[in-house]
Amino acid sequence: MDILFAASEIAPIIKVGGLADVVSSLSKALRLLGHKVTIALPRYQALDSSGLMMARRLTPMPLEVDAKVSPGGPIQVTLFDGRLSTGVELVVLDVPGFHDRPGIYGEEGRDYEDNARRFSLFSRAVVELVRQRARSGSPFDIVHAHDWPTAMVPYLLRHQPSAPGRTVLTLHNAAHQGLFPKDALAYLGLDDDHFRPERLEFYGQLNFLKGGILAADALTTVSTTYASEILTPKQGERLDGVLRTRANQLSGIVNGIDYAVWNPMTDPAIIARYDAEDVSNKGRCKSALLQELGLEIRPDRPLLVSIGRVVAQKGSDLLANAMPKILKGDVSVVVAGEGDAELMEKLSAAAAKAPERAKFLGGVSEAVVHRLMAAADLVVVPSRFEPCGLVQLYAQRYGAAPVACRTGGLVDTIVDIDAALETGTGFLFDKPTATSLLGGVQRALAALTSPRWPAVQRRIMRLDLGWDRPARRYVQVYRQALAS
């Protein structure tokens, strides 16, 4: 098949969260299965310094827009062609509003005020790219849009003169929907007829994700459990009614990880390599990290790590509240991430009470994330809800047991370890509370002292967490969409 990904992020160049990793890794896995994959991406400032070789097309692509949007006539979108080392093609669209700033969605925790314009025009440029390919006689078979920034691509292809092929929309997190005032219709080239409850209107606003849900030929989300959860009022983020109308077209496919990037046997970011058959060098990685962070070097002391956005969804407040009691035990704690300023301050204050054993790092580089995983004995994932999550998969790959709340994709990727340590791949706690989190951590710390723990660690590291099986599931979704 000839597949086009429409996305706003791609790891490691343009990344806010797991969406970037999925776009990069899934496209690579599909390429390895023999499919042609092209990724359409906006031109950000970061692309210019990435070292990626791109060739500028001589002829710009005009976007016909309302005079209110562009008084000077059509908007000229310049296209750049490139190729990733994985063999995946890249088409970078230079759309006004992307290259003139450093951020992706916003800066300093605030969204850009013109995001409606930015992502509307980008979606229209992707649609025009699809039409150009169709006119050339080699249309895309599948257009796969990722999350709200590109959710209007399926909608525009369905409601305007379109091109051959089918559309798929992946909901990486239904909490992020792209909500904008009604006047954003002008940027999309749509009239007021689309501002109706059965189309784009959503509690008095436009909802980009809703449009994609209604229009795409197939819908996916990033775990089986989350696919069920978003059909309920509790987790559906007010879109559960719309999603239930498309439930037959919705599939849950658990994310994988790229072994070329996440592999303790080949990882260039860590001081010593190891694998499931010989994990002895993991202790060296722990000692090196503790020294790097200025913490007491005690490789025999359990190291608990938490990595991720510091927001309520990720349970950062639960961890902050539980840390004083966790640190009463003989354990080291390192927390990395950025987000809500108040929660960051609470985590920093909790770590400051045991400065020789605990540290809050704030935002860190990808290389530091790899070193944290290689050093950790336990990785805490206290999310209140989690569509899939990748942190627990990285932890398992690096021989660290995840301690996670029983929700979403965490349920699909972690089997709770039994009391005898004979089965299971991590530790699940039942409620998003500090008390429940503390109980899960204490259970995990007790397990680390068992003589059976090395066997548990080997079992965790031998899990098949790669992208091959998920990619084959996506191929099934594509084929079903083409047959529909």
Binding residues for ADP-alpha-D-glucose: 15
Compute CA distances 12 → 23, 50, 367, whole Å: 10, 9, 11
Strand-pairing partners, residue 358, are 333
Q: Tokens 């895309």: give the residue.
A: 140
Q: What whole-number distance in Å separates Cα of residue 24 and Cα of residue 10? A: 6
Side-chain half-sphere CA neighbours of 266 within 13 A = 6
Question: Hey, how many other C-beta atoms are within 10 angstroms of the C-beta on 464?
Answer: 7
Q: What whole-number distance in Å separates Cα of residue 176 and Cα of residue 237? A: 9
CA angle in degrees (0–180, nearest 5) for 282-286-290: 170
C-alpha closest to that of 63 among 89, 96, 105, 90? 96
Q: What whole-number distance in Å separates Cα of residue 411 and Cα of residue 381? A: 12
C-alpha closest to that of 396 among 421, 412, 376, 369? 376
Q: What whole-number distance in Å separates Cα of residue 325 and Cα of residue 319? A: 10
Q: What is the largest CA-CA distance in the chain?
A: 73
Which residue type is seen at 411?
A: V
Annotated binding site: 15
Q: What is the DSSP string of 418-484?
A: PTTSSS-SBEEESSSSHHHHHHHHHHHHHHHTSTTHHHHHHHHHTS--SSHHHHHHHHHHHHHHHH-
Token pair for 378: 């336990």
- Contact in structure between 379 and 444 (CB atoms under 8 Å): no
Angle between helices 434-448 and 316-326 (to 10 degrees): 50
Which residue type is seen at 313?
A: Q
C-alpha closest to that of 258 among 20, 54, 2, 83? 20
CA angle in degrees (0–180, nearest 5) for 15-175-242: 130
Q: Is 64 helix (H, G, I), strand (E, B) or coil?
A: coil
CA 392, 382, 221, 476 torsion-angle sign: positive
330: DSSP letter: S
